[in-house]
Chains A and B, each alone.
Chain A
Amino acid sequence: MQEVMLDCLGEACPIPLVKAQKKLEELAVGDVLIVQIDHSCAMKNLPEWAREAGHNVEIEEVDDGEWEVVIEKVK
């Protein structure tokens, strides 16, 4: 089980979602992907997409307007 950081700081929609989808495909079940974002638009689609895909998601607000979306790959 590994933990992978994905730096999407400074990137606007749709890039963070596209990158996260690609990265998650490479990971194994049980791995954790942490996507760093600072564009609020990604907060609206990335967590929702990951949850709908069945993964576990929690977000941490690391600073004002900066988040880490923590996705645990479930399937």
Chain B
Amino acid sequence: MRKLHMWPSETCGAVQIIGRDMREKKVEQYDVVIIGGGASGLTAAIYCGRARLNTLLIEKSLMGGLATYTNEIENYPGFPEGIGGLALMELFHKQAKKFDVKFKLTDVKSVDFEGDVKKVETFRNIFECKAVIVGSGGRPRTTGATNEEKYLFDKGISFCATCDAAANTDKTVMVIGSGDAAIEEGMFLTRFAKKVIVSVIHDVGKMDANEIAREQALGNPKMEFMWNTVVDSFEGGEQLETVNLKNLKTGEILPVVVDSCFEFIGYEPNTEIFKEKLNMSKRDYIITNEVMETGVPGVYACGDVREKELKQISTAVGDGAIAGVEAEKYIAETEVFANQIMQKERIGMIYVYSAIDAPSREMLPMMQEIEAAYGDQVKLSVIDQYKGQRLCDRLACDVDPMTIFYTEDGEVVEISSECDRPSIFDMLNKLVAKPIEQTA
């Protein structure tokens, strides 16, 4: 019986009393957890998987994201004849599977990014990991018109022409919007529907779509345009029957009898669960730098969920690749930092220098000589500030080159800019079990 293995707490009497919300969640560990299985998340997964990181990707609905909503993609390189959105994303998914990425189809309910171990929580699990990549993308915007909620989910309002076109064969449909998606998907719908009525907010002849699409649409005999209009309300019984449009110029309400209504008026980011946890723009997109860092160490964001200029598959892919590589670097660096730089076996001496600063560079041989003089009592680590700024950041200290951090049991006990031989010997002799004579 499936329930047994899905939700064990439900089936054993004692636990059942506690109630479903107290159901114990299973904890699993991964190197990286990727939230979202669109173009950006799947690309990040390919990079992480290929780098042999133990990678989990969580997607709440259909693998492939928003790209699966479109019938034909003509601008993604590598497919000169064009390719269907679903077909393209199936290829992405297949490629990620090849690199041993694990997939879970459920929605992420909350995240905890504080500390080195990040937590990603779903309804049945808590996934602990070293790095998180957010590729949660966007969802179609709704009009907010009266009765809209009543007709969502197959009651007449749709956001996906490829999904619902066939069901509208020989029907009359309405399209809301005049951008590329609205006009291109509207033209696709004319292959099935007998009439496609487009509600455009702008003046006669004006659209947000590109010029080619606009001209094709205006010449399409099955397409009809209602200029200067927005949706006022949706009416009907169980199913949508009428869309009441409002003419913005005259205020007049224009009832239009339709079988379905497709809304293409832009997108909203899926960022609710990251509120207060990641930096966001005014419009609630996640702010990152050019290497997809969110400002929280080990947490990256990529694709349409980022505040950025061009939201397309090709840019989502670029973002995902960068996020994957950065997560890999971060994890490797975390390990070097914990296991080597902050080692606990010996007294540590961490020398910060800069490859572009000659005096600090020239002291390296002396440092090595001092380490050797102490035998196995002291371990020297060197950090090149020029290349390893992020390692310096982990020491949580903004210092000039020629600084030494002394550690004991993996904790910094002293920070000093005195890099002359006697000072170093003095310091180390205070820390080691067996002090030694200063060497020449």
Main SS at interface, chain A: mixed
Contact of A49 among B69, B153, B160 (CB under 8 A): B153
Given contacts A40-B62, A43-B62, A49-B153, contact A58 B105 (CB under 8 A): yes
* Alpha-carbon separation in the docked complex, A44 to B162 (Å): 12
User: Please, what's the 1-or-0 string for A6-49, where 1 marks a CB less than 8 Å from any CB in chain B?
Assistant: 00000011100110000000000010101000001101110111
- Nearest residue, chain B, Cβ from A58: B106
Instruction: Decide if B107 touches A41 in the complex (CB within 8 Å).
Output: no
Instruction: Decide if B106 touches A13 in the complex (CB within 8 Å).
Output: no
- Nearest residue, chain A, Cβ from B89: A40
Scoring A14, A30, A57 by chain B CB atoms within 10 A of each residue's CB, the highest score goes to A14
| B276 on interface, CB distance cutoff 8 Å | no
Instruction: Decide if B61 touches A43 in the complex (CB within 8 Å).
Output: yes
CB of A10, distance to nearest CB on chain B (Å): 14
List chain A residues, Cβ under 8 A from B163. 13, 41, 44-45
CB of B98, distance to nearest CB on chain A (Å): 13
Given contacts A41-B160, A47-B60, A56-B123, contact A14 B167 (CB under 8 A): yes
List chain B residues, Cβ under 8 A from A67. 105
- Nearest residue, chain B, Cβ from A48: B61
Contact of B68 among A40, A49, A74 (CB under 8 A): A40
Given contacts A1-B3, A30-B10, A72-B7, contact A18 B103 (CB under 8 A): no
* Alpha-carbon separation in the docked complex, A48 to B60 (Å): 8
Interface size class of A (residues with CB under 8 A): 20 to 34
Instruction: Decide if A44 touches B167 in the complex (CB within 8 Å).
Output: no
CB of A60, distance to nearest CB on chain B (Å): 7
User: Please, what's the 1-or-0 string for B260-293, where 1 marks a CB less than 8 Å from any CB in chain A?
Assistant: 0000000000000000000000000000000000
Contact of B166 among A12, A47, A48, A57 (CB under 8 A): A12
List chain A residues, Cβ under 8 A from B2. 3, 32, 34, 70
CB of A8, distance to nearest CB on chain B (Å): 13
Instruction: Decide if B160 touches A44 in the complex (CB within 8 Å).
Output: yes
List chain B residues, Cβ under 8 A from A74. 20
| B408 on interface, CB distance cutoff 8 Å | no
List chain B residues, Cβ under 8 A from A45. 153-154, 163
Given contacts A1-B3, A13-B164, contact A48 B153 (CB under 8 A): yes
List chain B residues, Cβ under 8 A from A43. 61-62
List chain B residues, Cβ under 8 A from A34. 2
User: Please, what's the 1-or-0 string for B1-42, where 1 marks a CB less than 8 Å from any CB in chain A?
Assistant: 111001100100000000010000000000000000000000
Give B contacts to A, CB under 8 Å: 1-3, 6-7, 10, 20, 60-63, 68-69, 86, 103, 105-107, 122-124, 153-154, 160, 162-164, 166-167
